[in-house]
Amino acid sequence: AQSVTQLGSHVSVSEGALVLLRCNYSSSVPPYLFWYVQYPNQGLQLLLKYTSAATLVKGINGFEAEFKKSETSFHLTKPSAHMSDAAEYFCAVTASGGYQKVTFGTGTKLQVIP
Amino acid sequence: DAGVIQSPRHEVTEMGQEVTLRCKPISGHDYLFWYRQTMMRGLELLIYFNNNVPIDDSGMPEDRFSAKMPNASFSTLKIQPSEPRDSAVYFCASSNPGTPRDEQFFGPGTRLTVL
């Protein structure tokens, strides 16, 4: 079984500041990891994914995440926050060997202060 | 591509009534997922299908919930009878053929309110 823990249900940053959203995972087999973003009244859309290739993964809208096996982490970062980044972000995990259902974290709401 | 289509977008019903939510996945996707999102429980996977066959329905909360996929382009999630605690946003998602671990494409969701 696998799980993800997102630290902080709400994060506030100033426009132009670094965005750091934390995600720790638990998996008994090598994981595949994802970050999704949900804008108000919309479904989730994929930001980026890690599938055992490069540990630093670049996604859309300037976001990136680094897979750190030793820390069981997959934190999401963006150097400079933009007002349009205000949304809810979900970390998700699935096992790499054979299809397993994707397990989503509880989400982190990002507020960007002008 | 129109993306995943869900209908209705909003549904308000009274306790005890039957509710049917509909989903049209992206053409060519052979995995279809139903999720429920609430403030209290977050995003929960209810059931998923592969090639129209239900694979895992362990997330379906109880017998009042049922899901079908009669063909590759249509799925329904039915609640009968509905209860106020079923109020939530229900999402349908589909994914690319042969790569179930790949991106899931989500529909806009159906906001269900049971009075």
Q: Tell me the pLDDT tens digit for each residue of B64-105.
A: 999 999 999 999 999 999 999 999 999 999 987 555 456 889
Which one of A51, A99, A102 has the shortest CB-CB distance to B104? Answer: A102
Mutate to test the interface with B, among A60, A102, A104, A109 (most CBs of B within 10 A): A102
Instruction: For chain A, say whether B48 makes contact (Cβ under 8 Å).
Output: yes
Mean pLDDT computed over every residue of chain A: 91
Nearest CA-CA distance, residue A45 and chain B, Å: 7
B-chain CB neighbours of A52 within 8 Å are none
Q: At residue A39, does pLDDT exceed 60?
A: yes
Instruction: For chain A, say whether B12 makes contact (Cβ under 8 Å).
Output: no
How do residues B19-47 score in pLDDT, each as one tens digit? 999 999 999 888 899 999 998 888 899 99
Residue B103 is given by DSSP the state: P
How do residues A52-69 score in pLDDT, each as one tens digit? 778 999 999 999 999 999
Buried b (16+ CB within 10 A) or exposed e, A78-93: beebeeebbbbbbbbb
pLDDT of residue A9: 92
Nearest CA-CA distance, residue B22 and chain A, Å: 15
CB contact under 8 A, B104 and A42: no
Instruction: For chain B, say whether A97 makes contact (Cβ under 8 Å).
Output: no
R_g of chain B, CA atoms, integer Å: 13
B106 Cβ contact list (under 8 Å, min separation 6): A43, A44, A45, B4, B35, B91, B92, B93
A-chain CB neighbours of B10 within 8 Å are none
Mutate to test the interface with A, among B58, B101, B111 (most CBs of A within 10 A): B101
Buried b (16+ CB within 10 A) or exposed e, B39-51: eeebbbbbbbbbe
Nearest CA-CA distance, residue A15 and chain B, Å: 27
Q: At residue B111, does pLDDT exceed 60?
A: yes
